[in-house]
Amino acid sequence: MGGKPSKEPTGINGVWSEFCTFEDENERPTKDPIHDAVSLRIDLYYLSTRVPTKSLRDMGSVISRCKKLKSIRMIGHLFVRSNVIEDVLVSLFQANGSYYFPLEHFSICKYALNARGFEAIIPFLTSRGELDCLSLENCEIGDDVAGAIGVVLDQTCIDNIDLNGNQISARGLSNLFSGKNSIKLRSLNLQENSIGKAEVDEIARFLSKEGVALQWIAIGKIRLIFGDYFDPD
């Protein structure tokens, strides 16, 4: 039968919708995320424990069709198994997906993130040309993930990284700083990591590199500010 073509679906529905919030530029929840949402907040804990994989992929499809998203923030609980996290991230940010929104900020907080989990989102992160801030706070990140972040730095414009509350040692810092784009970092938060002499030496070696753009770094309870960088805290 003939008739008018159906309009592009814009709303959110399904079991996953109650565990995420799409907000417009006025920080108000929107029912039309595809056209209006500039930020997305996801409760990863409930999403990973109560939502089946098919529904997660449906949610990933909605995310991929958003046009204005600038910020994605995911909050979880550390006791969720790492393999569950990997499955969730693979479903939400599919490696073969096409994304056209101007993402600037991507964060995961309080979610045990191993190397495979992080590698699951590398294709998504490296496809975001405007991304400049990566926050992985209290994610139990170790040296392997720190090394993978170094790889991402070489393929993106990220210049602000928050790794507060993780388990990164001198080896991880060495891997993080080994990429050619690491010198472009403007801010780096390493608070609440086990920082000892070996880690401080690694940071000092990095700071001594020619062309380092770093303007703010937090180590333990110490914050070092270089130049005119504004410290929001």
Distance between CA 98 and CA 67 in Å, rounded? Answer: 11
Q: How far is CA 95 from CA 64, 121, 153, 170, 198, in A?
A: 11, 7, 18, 31, 36
Helix (H) or strand (E) holding 77: none
Specify the long-range contacts of residues 5-10, CB closer than 8 Å, at least 24 apart. Answer: 8/34, 8/65, 9/34, 10/34, 10/35
Top pLDDT among 39 and 128 is at 39
End-to-end CA distance of the chain: 62
To which residue do tokens 């989102």 refer? 121
To which residue do tokens 């923030």 refer? 73
pLDDT digits (tens, 9 = 90+) for 131-184: 999 999 999 999 999 999 999 999 999 999 999 999 999 999 999 999 889 999
Strand 39-43 and strand 20-23: the pairing is: antiparallel
Backbone torsion region of residue 3, taken as left when φ is above 0, otherwise alpha when ψ lies between -120 and 50, otherwise beta: left
pLDDT digits (tens, 9 = 90+) for 51-75: 888 888 888 989 999 999 999 999 9
pLDDT digits (tens, 9 = 90+) for 117-126: 899 899 999 9
pLDDT digits (tens, 9 = 90+) for 211-231: 999 999 999 778 888 766 555
